Amino acid sequence: MEWAKRECILVAATKAFSKLGFKKASVDDIAKEAGVAKGTVYLACESKEDLFYQAVHRELRAWIAQIAQMVDPRVGADELLRQVAAAGFAYLEQHPLVRDLFLGILHGQLPGWAHRFDQLRALGQQNIVEILKLGIAQKRFRHDLDVEETAMILQDMTLAGYLFQNREGQTSRAHRERRLKAGLDLVLHGLQAAESSS
């Protein structure tokens, strides 16, 4: 199948799955939106589940590429973490498939695909790992940091902040910035007061 037609199908699938969810979106609707026959959709995928996975993967790759462009070694890694978290919040608001992937919602919709979704979720940590390694090289972060585990924890904290912010109805940019700043300050400086020098 030619790339342009496959891309058209994935764009249509992304729209349908984002708007209707996995169960309500039909292959017929996706084919109609893409301007192809239903059988042509099955040339791009093995099943509706596979098409859904491909749509999520496509959206995730776009997010990873966007974040990768932000990683500039001339910028402090602590500032990069703040920028990436802010960009992550914005992306999750606009891309429900990625949001649902990171929040674990897709695992419940397609339990047989949970392992593959976990692999996608891990891909989302790659940029954070790179920022942590950069921070170590910049001597801003400890050299003994477990970057893989720390990246997972930072991702989870960002997602928790996103989830609770939206649950509370606090979606203003100022509130989001305040929450991100407080969370990053907690990660970078902890809860303990600095020892006095007297």
**pLDDT at residue 58 greater than cutoff 90:** yes
Distance between CA atoms of 183 and 178, rounded to whole angstroms? 9
- Higher pLDDT: 198 or 148? It is 148
In which band, very low, low, confident or very high, does the pLDDT at 171 lie, cut at 50, 70 and 90? low
Residues 141, 77 contacting (CB under 8 angstroms): yes
* Intrachain domains 1-45 and 53-189 with the same fold: no
Domain residue extents for the chain:
1-45, 53-189
Residue bearing tokens 């995730």: 60
The CATH number of 53-189 is 1.10.357.10
The whole-model pTM stands at 0.83
pLDDT at 108: 85
Q: What percent of the chain has pLDDT over 70?
A: 93
Distance between CA atoms of 63 and 166, rounded to whole angstroms? 20
pLDDT at 170: 53
pLDDT at 90: 84
pLDDT at 55: 96
Nearest alpha carbon to residue 153 among 120, 186, 125: 125
CATH architecture for residues 1-45: Orthogonal Bundle (1.10)
pLDDT at 198: 47
Residue type, 18: S
Residue 98 half-sphere exposure toward CB, CA atoms < 13 A = 23
187-to-29, 154, 169, 190 alpha-carbon distances in Å = 45, 8, 24, 6
Distance between CA atoms of 185 and 187, rounded to whole angstroms? 5
**Average pLDDT along the chain:** 88
Mean pLDDT, rounded, for 64-69: 93
pLDDT at 7: 94
**Torsion sign (Cα): 64, 86, 148, 54:** negative
The pair of three-digit structure tokens given for residue 181, joined into one six-digit string: 């700043």
pLDDT at 185: 84
pLDDT at 77: 95
Task: Classify residue 114 as exposed, middle or buried by CB count within 10 Å of its CB (0-12, 13-18, 19+).
Answer: middle
Least confident of 126-130, 168-172, 193-197: 168-172
